[in-house]
Amino acid sequence: MQIRELNVPDSYEITPKQFGDDRGVFLEWYRFDKLEEATGRSIKLAQSNTSVSKRGSVRGIHFADIPIGQAKYVTATRGAVLDYVVDIRVGSPTFGQWDTVLLDDTDRKAIFISEGLGHCFVALTDDATVSYLVTDTYRPEREHGINPLDAEIGLVLPPEAGEPLLSPKDTEAPGLSEAAASGLLPTWEAARAFYETLKGN
């Protein structure tokens, strides 16, 4: 597999090598050793999730408090989504910036998003099925969101997604500046210090 860091530090695109024959396809979509080699840190998985979404569904921008945070390793097992990583770490050199990876059932790429980064995706097909491996269990009191349509962040939703469908929770979430002013966002320093504790563990 090939792993490259995205324009948002501490997030990575993973492209697996696929082996096809007349029976179908085989691939390794997650390798802890390859990911640790690329990121310089260990990944301890605690929970796996699956979502199925209608075309146009937007999920995010979501993040969890650091520590412990919740890193995510995400792939699409059916259909296609455009996955976004947003740098919401106050003080980061790329604060407020974002990058994307197309996750689909053709290239079968994955994205790894470190703790303290915002995560969002929009479904490009009906029944888009996304599987997540995460490093901590769901803790609702530590989970937060930013409105994915916040003009300051300026996520560009592709036209093939159609009309965006958002949950009330995401629609009512604060914008980036409001979240920063309220002290809701993680800091660059706290995130980097936390990543250091994960090296060699």
Cite the active site residues. 62, 132
Residue 20: CB partners within 8 Å, gap ≥ 6?
26
Q: Between the CA atoms of 96, 169, 136 and 138, what dihedral angle is there, to the nearest 10 degrees?
A: 170
Contact between 65 and 144 (Cβ < 8 Å): yes
Q: 22: which 2 tokens? A: 């007349």
**Distance between CA atoms of residues 8 and 18, nearest Å:** 27
Q: CA-based angle 140:142:144, to the nearest 5?
A: 85
Nearest to 84 by CA among 16, 150, 135, 11: 11
